[in-house]
Structure 1
Amino acid sequence: LQAFVWDWPLEQTVPTFVLALVLWGVAMFAACWVDRIKKSHDLVTYGEILAYWKGEAVDRDTERGRRERMIPSWMKAIRTVGMTLLAMAVGAFVGYGGAALANMLLG
């Protein structure tokens, strides 16, 4: 959208969009691959994932592991949505503040 507002030619915008789409696709592929491994091997915490990745025995009998496994899926969804909204608010605040600061400094 910003490319059309700034009146950039297509020769500049198309490669940028293609690169962004390719990088997004690679990141999504990696995320889905890791989640599939986590689900098939019952890995929840970062320590369990590291132990599995290093080839060590996975200790699932930790306090955090038990606590994470007891959380219902609807609560995990609520937590994810809440963290996403919080991250969006912080990003908007920092972006708006940065733009206001740049406008104030640069005139």
Structure 2
Amino acid sequence: VIGGFKQMTYSQQHAGPKKICAAFTVVDSSGVELSCTLWGNFATTLFNYLNGRTNNEPVVIIIKHGKIKDASDSYAVSIGNAWNGTKVFIDADYDDAKKIANR
């Protein structure tokens, strides 16, 4: 999945009874919005990146080998990280990412 970061919809930034979590929306190159959820270190990496930004340029997120969660009742299809095998790239230097950033 490659998409431009649109908004954070939920965040749990400190470990406690709940795991660290970042739920957000990305928009792909065709304008389709997709819900994403990152857990643990993936979420921490995203929080650190977003909090450390010094500009307002678009943020492009790539989730490789993510886990697809089927739609149910009031929830749309979403993607998240699996506990092993998932790779997350933020503002990576790839042509497809640049196209989304320049939209």
Q: Give TM-score scaled by structure 1 length.
A: 0.21
Radius of gyration: which is bigger? 1
- Higher relative CO (Cα under 8 Å, sequence separation at least 6) belongs to 2
Structure (1 or 2) with the greater strand fraction? 2
- The answer to which structure has the higher helix fraction is 1
- TM-score of the superposition, structure 2-length normalised? 0.22
